[in-house]
Amino acid sequence: MADREDLPADHGPAGGWGSLRGVREVFGESWPTPGVVQTLLRQNKPVGFMCASCAWPKPATYKPFEFCENGAKATIWESTTARCTPDFWTDHTVTGLRGWSDHALESTGRLTHPLRYEPETDRYVETDWDTALAAIGAGLKALPPDDVVFYSAGHAGLEASYLWALFARLYGTNNLPQSSNMCHETTSVGLKKVIGSPVGTVVWEDLDATDCYFFFGQNPGTNSPRFLHPLKEAKDRGAGIVTFNPVREQGLVSFVDPQNPRAMLTGEETVISDQYHQLKAGSDIAAILGVCKAVIEADDGARSDGRAAVIDWPFIEEHTTGFEEFVAFARGTFWHAITAECGLTEVALRDAARVYMEAERVIGVYGMGLTQQAHGAWNVGMLVNLLLLRGNIGRLGTGCCPVRGHSNVQGQRTVGVAEKAELVPLDRLRALFGFEPPHRDGTHIVDVAQGIIAGRIRATLCLGGNLLRALPETARLEETWQRQDLTVMVSTKLNRSHLFPGRQAWILPCLARSERDVQARGPQTVTVEDSFSMIHGSTGKRTPASPHLRSELAIVAGLAKAATAPNPKVTWDAWVADYRRVRDLIEATYPDDFRGFNDRMNTPGGFWRDNPASRRIWQTDSGRAEFTRPDRLNALGFEDAEGRLRLVTMRSNDQFNTTIYGYSDRFRGIEGTRDVVLMNVGDMAARGLSHGDRVALVSDAGDGVDRRLGGLEVIRFDIPEGTVGSYYPECNVLVPLSLHDRMSKTPGSKAVPVRVVRDDTVA
């Protein structure tokens, strides 16, 4: 690993030499500054730094390389030698850069100076921190607080995030939407409704003990590759893995462990999924209902034959509600309705049910395939139905495992980054800081986007992320974003959101997670919370990319000081000087979750924030775990129609959200381009299309809005008829803002109504 030149050639399966080669290719000519291998060796280890990529947990007993291909890419991408200095703008205008790809924009390197947008020249120009903070503070003071939005992307640590939320509330608003509004908000709302927990119940010991995984719409090979290790261990001890996913994802098919020299030499593959069910996009409600129906029928049979029950009746009686209605729904739905809806056969669904019933302990894993749907919360409820039938929540080796996105996305919510006032202990904030926090709910990100289009939202402040690019409805947002009075982005790299500046616009460059953060009281550590609700310390050691960078915490405090009234209990400077003081405040605000925070933050594997649902204490309205009875068989926000297709917006293996590392989606065999549409051969034939033809995707939402993405190449792919795939964020131009989960408003990006037409525009 130390010498990239020595890395052997590629291999097929997920993991293996292929993954190491993938890492090497990110470097290209800009293999970063010296010491990157040492940096990688500290990644995800106690007293090291926590990966800035995904939120997959970090084990207490770690491996020599406790990072994956994509974690290494994330670290290397932020440690690049390239710099986007103020000189860059001598040759470029903001408008001119709109023709650049996401990849090209971030490839300009790390941002080095605070920048101010200058409308006269259509460029960003260098400024200094005092000027920027004072001007932003004055701008904010002139606006009504509820017209201002405080977005955060899930990168920043718990300390900066806590202060960010405090800042917004001192300023006077709960407008604290987060990237999870586009992501696992369905979990925060839907899972909370049915089991009383807005986060997963699974912890590391459950992975070690389980004997079966059911995967729904989560792609570990690309999005949480370190998950492949426990999956392989599970296979080695004979566990079953059943996957439901329209797309055949290599990381769920087979795996070579890059940390096992023998497997590396022989290319020995482990088959991951025993069963891989390629259902139609958006049809999980039907598929899961089919599995449940088979379980219910098996229980009927067993009990009438005098055999042991299949359903866990004592659990159902003691712990759940809504069971009878759900069973009546399952019995009353005919198999042909189920199979027609999901495109899977009754045999296939009964097969899945058999594996489910044979397993003593089952974990249900899910991701964007379930959450980014118009009835996503019902998807989550259906998965919980399946788990509840055999008491697969709240006992060792079982549980519900939503795999979260950004490294601290879950933690930011834990420490008060929430637009819903009820989620925050406002009384404690009042007592600690002597002010009256706003009580009115803030704005969800979908409403923010609608508010920007309608001119109601007048300023957005973004703590990380690339919000304009990540949201649906790109074209209308790009048209209206600049009408805001003020846009402020705390960023590490240039991205498309910067190219639509408000009347006043600022880019504030920050330290990255792997970099040394030294304040008045010495070097600082930050903390993050992973997908299993484990809290970890993270200490950067690398030399910062520029001497002008500030930490996220220092920037937040600087903005807050400039925009809010002085308050003797709010000592921004002292907090910046020593982050331990901020952790004390977090502990004072959330004493149950953060007991002994400063002492425990470097516990190997993190310390656990507890989760009552994993002890079968259900903090739901009914005080029980709730069965869901959906009133439809799919999660779509539209009906089928002649020629209409369901578009899945996908992540490649060479991106982290809108950060595009490169153009190699190795696992899907798509190289050198992202401008593709994956199609079933039948759908191609029906339209007279061949592999390689040029097409456009056009919106078929029936709302009269013209949405179009052209210049795409048809790729014949193993995907069900009626479902097509293409990459996010390019496809966001096709996603209507109105298409979102009914309960949580998470955009329905995994089943978007489109048509495929020939594209006659010149390449």
Ligand X SMILES: Nc1nc2c(c(=O)[nH]1)N[C@H]1C(S)=C(S)[C@@H](COP(=O)(O)OP(=O)(O)OC[C@H]3O[C@@H](n4cnc5c(=O)[nH]c(N)nc54)[C@H](O)[C@@H]3O)O[C@H]1N2
Longest CA span, the chain: 83
The residues with which 239 forms a beta bridge, in sequence order, are none
Total residues found in the chain within this entry: 763
580 with 599: CB under 8 angstroms? no
Q: Nearer to ligand X by C-beta: 127 or 732?
A: 732
176: contact with Mo ion by CB under 5 A: no
Q: Nearer to ligand X by C-beta: 319 or 755?
A: 755
Residue 461 CB, nearest distance to ligand X (Å)? 11
18: contact with ligand X by CB under 6 A: no
Distance CA 553, CA 542 (A): 18
Amino acid letter, 758: R
Distance CA 641, CA 734 (A): 17
512: contact with ligand X by CB under 6 A: yes
Listed ranges 1-9, 183-191, 542-550, 567-575: which one lies at the site for Mo ion (CB under 5 A): 183-191
510: contact with ligand X by CB under 6 A: yes
15: contact with Mo ion by CB under 5 A: no
Residue 747 CB, nearest distance to Mo ion (Å)? 11
What letter does residue 413 receive in the DSSP assignment?
H
Q: Which helix (H) or strand (E) holds 298?
A: helix 284-304
Smallest CA-to-CA distance from 146 within 459, 373, 397 is with: 459
Q: Which does 513 bind (CB under 5 to 8 A by kind): ligand X, Mo ion, none?
A: ligand X
Listed ranges 140-148, 365-373, 392-400, 617-625: which one lies at the site for ligand X (CB under 6 A): 365-373
527-556: contacts with ligand X (CB under 6 A): 552
Binding mask 735-754 for ligand X (x = CB under 6 A): x-------------xxx---
Q: Which does 559 bind (CB under 5 to 8 A by kind): Mo ion, ligand X, none?
A: none
Q: Which residues contact 207 (CB under 8 A, 6 or more apart)?
A: 230, 234, 363
Distance CA 561, CA 214 (A): 49
Tokens of 396: 């060792």
Strand locations in 58-106, DSSP E? 83-84
377-406: contacts with ligand X (CB under 6 A): 403, 405-406
405: contact with Mo ion by CB under 5 A: yes
Q: Nearer to ligand X by C-beta: 361 or 740?
A: 740
Residue 179 CB, nearest distance to Mo ion (Å)? 6
Tokens of 732: 């966001």
Distance CA 572, CA 576 (A): 6
Distance CA 310, CA 307 (A): 9
Residue 657 CB, nearest distance to ligand X (Å)? 3
Q: Which does 368 bind (CB under 5 to 8 A by kind): ligand X, Mo ion, none?
A: ligand X
Residue 499 CB, nearest distance to Mo ion (Å)? 22
Burial status of residue 458 (CB atoms within 10 A of its CB: 0-12, 13-18, 19 or more): buried
Listed ranges 19-27, 46-54, 391-399, 622-630: which one lies at the site for ligand X (CB under 6 A): 46-54
658: contact with ligand X by CB under 6 A: yes
Smallest CA-to-CA distance from 113 within 132, 96, 135 is with: 132
- For residue 566, is the peptide bond before it cis, meaning its omega torsion is within 30 degrees of 0? no
Of 18, 145, 177, 246, the residue at the interface with ligand X (CB under 6 A) is 246
Q: Which does 450 bind (CB under 5 to 8 A by kind): ligand X, Mo ion, none?
A: none
Of 127, 187, 245, 539, the residue at the interface with ligand X (CB under 6 A) is 245
Q: Nearer to Mo ion by C-beta: 303 or 651?
A: 651
Q: Nearer to Mo ion by C-beta: 320 or 749?
A: 749
330 in helix, strand or coil? helix
Distance CA 285, CA 643 (A): 23
Listed ranges 346-354, 445-453, 651-659, 736-744: which one lies at the site for ligand X (CB under 6 A): 651-659
438: contact with Mo ion by CB under 5 A: no
Binding mask 712-731 for ligand X (x = CB under 6 A): ----------------xx-x
463-502: contacts with ligand X (CB under 6 A): 463-467, 470, 490-493, 495
Tell me how many residues contact ligand X (CB under 6 A).
65
Backbone torsion region of residue 122, taken as left when φ is above 0, otherwise alpha when ψ lies between -120 and 50, otherwise beta: left
Of 39, 127, 179, 539, the residue at the interface with ligand X (CB under 6 A) is 179
Strand locations in 181-298, DSSP E? 212-216, 240-244, 254-256, 270-271, 275-277
407: contact with ligand X by CB under 6 A: no
Tokens of 40: 């990688």
| Chain-centroid distance, C-alpha 225 | 14
Tokens of 16: 């293996």
Tokens of 475: 């074209």
Give just the sign of the alpha carbon dihedral 164, 165, 167, 173: positive
Amino acid letter, 402: P
Of 132, 239, 241, 368, the residue at the interface with ligand X (CB under 6 A) is 368
Binding site for Mo ion (CB under 5 A): 183, 405
Binding site for ligand X (CB under 6 A): 52-54, 70, 106, 153-156, 179, 182-183, 216-219, 222-224, 244-247, 249, 281-282, 284, 367-369, 372, 403, 405-406, 463-467, 470, 490-493, 495, 510, 512-513, 552, 648-649, 651, 655-659, 728-729, 731-732, 735, 749-751
